[in-house]
Chain A
Amino acid sequence: MAFKRTPQVFSASINEVTLGTGEKAVTIGGGNTMPLYSFDAPPKHKVAIGVEITDTGVDKTLPGMAAYYEGAETLTDIAKRAAEMPGADFVVLALDGADPNGDNRPVDECIAIAKEVADAIDVPLAITGSKNVEKDTELFSKLAEALQGRNVLFVSAREENYKTIAASAVMAYGNKISAESAVDINLAKQLNVLLTQMGIQPTSFVMNVGSAAAGYGYDYVASTLDRVRDAALTQNDAMLQMPIITPVASEAWNVKESIVSEEDFPEWGSRESRGVSMEICTAASVIAGGSDAVILRHPESVKTISGMIAGLM
């Protein structure tokens, strides 16, 4: 008596959302199985990887990063190099310098930077902001205008500022946004409902349902991802069928394991290997949970995660 296979293929599916334009445009979502269950049905699109670069430059304290970006001095060079990274599907510009609690880079400068990056690459572009609600509202609205027609993804609009960002980025200038909520399925759904009620098409936005590095309250992230995908597929909840993008790099490279020096923790080994490992582990977790796109930083992580995705297709 052979093993009786019972594939779970759902009649519901995740929305398809396209980022960027032209030949290198990337479509994510479309799945109608549990994440990575390619043995139940062939996946429609593969999980996409965005390579993060920042307006504050390459972290040259990490030898592997320094080596990969060696000779790339201008932001144009850095963006090109990121777009060429094996395994990269799109580039993510992190405007960390815009943070009012940090460099507080003015919006005009941010626009110039974003245009430079957008002009340098032919793959899709996503932009993450300062994480400050007021600043991001202004920043994303003006960036959306400057980058009209490029189908850029802005990460993220939150409950406090979704109206302005959605109205300008999506409705006025035809870009895409990600709806960010804090690791709670109800908040995620609520924001999706609000955006839909504004008249934003479900194919014009994705979700960021929150992220955490492995070991740092990741239990909440795991269960939120599980429950969102479950509601989207088994209950056919149209308000949770948006594809999920998860910023991994910003979490993984900001925990103790990726920060403390080898001098302080000699038995832990090189900081770079720890950061890469944390980035890989966190990325593999959120992909197993249902993320349709992840944002990574290190070339080793991108290589490994793209290899894993390809190996599971």
Chain B
Amino acid sequence: MALKGLDIFKLTPKTNCKECGNPTCMAFAMKVAQGAIPVEKCPHMSAEAIAQLSEATAPPMKSLKVGAGEAEHTLGGETVLFRHEKTFVSENLFAVCVCKGCVDAKLPEIEKIDYERIGERMHVEALNLEYSDKDSYVELVKKVSGKGRLLILEVQDAEAAEAALEVCAAEKPILNGATPENYAQFVEIAKKYGVVLGVGAPDLDQLYDTAAAIEGLGYKDLVLDVTGASMKDAFAGAVQVRRAALKNTDRTFGYPSIVNVKKLAKGDANMQTALATLFVVKYGSIIVMEDMSYAQALPLYGLRQNIYTDPQKPMKVAPGIYPLNGADENSVCATTVDFALTYFVVSGELERSGVPVNFLISDAGGYSVLTAWAAGKFSAGSISKFIKEYDIENKIKSRTLIIPGKAAVLKGELEERLPGWTIVVAPNEATNLVKFMKDFK
């Protein structure tokens, strides 16, 4: 259980030496209790006190680094069950299955999914390597190694696992193969190659016992495979593992999860999309799919970005000129704030209108129109400054600028600051934009 500030204070030297950067030992203890600073910041604590405290103040869910180089990702480290309570910290990863017979065809398809959305690269972060026999497994590993993706070795054959790790251990793959039967041997392999070990079992009780036994062997770099026999089992597993860790502080389940939706709905891409969605929302750390098409990626990656965004920090789009519907230098300009939600709603309606528009987005602090206007971040000054800084007058010939209806008050001052421009006020609501743009055209 989390310790209170006073419990921690009792273990400090109580000298108020300030060496930790805090004015008093009490202040230090309170911050440690909140998880704001690690207990090691105090140079005078005894080793036993530190050990006692780090155990007690350790996060309820382990945070693990997997993969290497550009394929390095952090899993876990979550502290809340609902994003509004604080924030989710480690985005789930999407993995696609490859096997000896399909890898050559699949790799180019996987590589096609690679695009940017609100400043984030969207791609298949991981490959799940399916096992058929030892020799071909090593060949499979060789084929996919060095492709900048996290490798997940789904193999329960110890010899094959070792042979595969001889090839790719440096890439820090996940060895997903420990079971209630073989775990002792697999812990040795994971230790030898320094990789994260995936643990699976036929049901949650056996998973719990196996994880506890592995911890008993001194290995704690684990991910828990919650896939189970049915979608009901998988969902029950993902939820109960996370809930046990965060709500009931049961450390044995305090690890990231992996769930294979291909096994739950083989050959049914739509059902895999539905299940992947379920596990993005509820507690999947790695979601393994049979394939990833653009049709699947577009909503799933968008959803993931939404779920994992920090509720306290609005999502922002980068300032710039966004030509819509094939706009060119003669197309009219429209502007709004950089708040991602506003941008998507407005750009969506503008696209539906089919009218070519140069959509100008300036830095408005990531607020909605009225909030940004009230905060002085979306003003005649900020818009005209953007038009000068981005050299709009040389890039675009049109001198018509459409502004949001809610910022109609800016019209007069904008006309003063932007001589030669016609300022047009759009409707208050984005839903009326399609008709407005068609009439306007």
Q: Please report A residues at the B interface, Cβ cutoff 8 Å.
A: 1-6, 8, 34, 36-39, 101-102, 131, 213-220, 222-223, 226-227, 230, 254-257, 259-260, 267-270, 273-274, 276-278, 280-285, 288-289, 300-301, 303-305, 307-308, 311-313
Contacts and interface: CB of A to CB of B under 8 A. Distances in A.
B296 A277 contact: yes
Interface residues of B, number: 63
B275 A227 contact: no
A283 B431 CA distance: 22
The 6 closest A-B pairs by CB, nearest first: A215-B302, A281-B299, A3-B208, A217-B341, A284-B277, A214-B303
B240 interface: yes
Contacts of B351: 256, 259-260
Interface in B246-296: 247-248, 250, 252-253, 268, 270-271, 273-275, 277-278, 280-282, 293-296
Given A6-B244, A223-B311, A281 B293 contact: no
Interface string B168-192: 0000000000000000000000000
Contacts of B253: 3
26 contacts: A6-B247, A6-B248, A34-B239, A38-B236, A213-B299, A213-B302, A214-B306, A219-B311, A220-B341, A222-B281, A222-B307, A223-B83, A226-B83, A254-B352, A255-B344, A255-B348, A257-B299, A268-B294, A273-B295, A277-B299, A284-B275, A288-B278, A301-B270, A304-B268, A304-B270, A312-B235
B240 A39 contact: yes
A151 B167 CA distance: 66
A276 B352 contact: no
Given A216-B344, A308-B231, A288 B83 contact: no
A282 to B, nearest CB: 7
Contact of A214 (B235, B270, B300): B300
A73 B303 CA distance: 37
B74 interface: no
B301 interface: yes
B232 A313 contact: yes
A220 B340 CA distance: 12
Contacts of A6: 243-244, 247-248
Q: Is chain B's binding surface mostly helix, strand, loop or mixed? A: helix
B204 interface: yes
A256 B212 CA distance: 48
Given A4-B250, A223-B311, A311-B230, A278 B274 contact: no
A217 B271 contact: no
A280 B302 CA distance: 13
B341 A278 contact: no
Nearest to A287: B278
B274 A215 contact: no
Contacts of A270: 295
A143 B200 CA distance: 56
B441 interface: no
Contacts of A259: 351-352
A216 B307 CA distance: 11
B82 A285 contact: no
B306 A308 contact: no
Contacts of B301: 215
A281 B235 CA distance: 16
A129 to B, nearest CB: 13
Contacts of A283: 274
A3 B236 CA distance: 13
A281 B431 CA distance: 23
Interface in B223-244: 230-232, 235-236, 239-240, 243-244
Nearest to B241: A3
Given A278-B299, A280-B273, A131 B431 contact: yes
Given A37-B239, A269-B295, A277-B295, A312 B348 contact: no
A216 B250 CA distance: 35
Contact of B235 (A36, A227, A256, A269): A36
A214 B84 contact: no
B277 A288 contact: yes
A80 to B, nearest CB: 25
B293 to A, nearest CB: 6
B270 A254 contact: no
B416 interface: no
B84 A281 contact: no
Contacts of A288: 277-278, 281-282
B310 to A, nearest CB: 9
Contacts of B208: 1-3
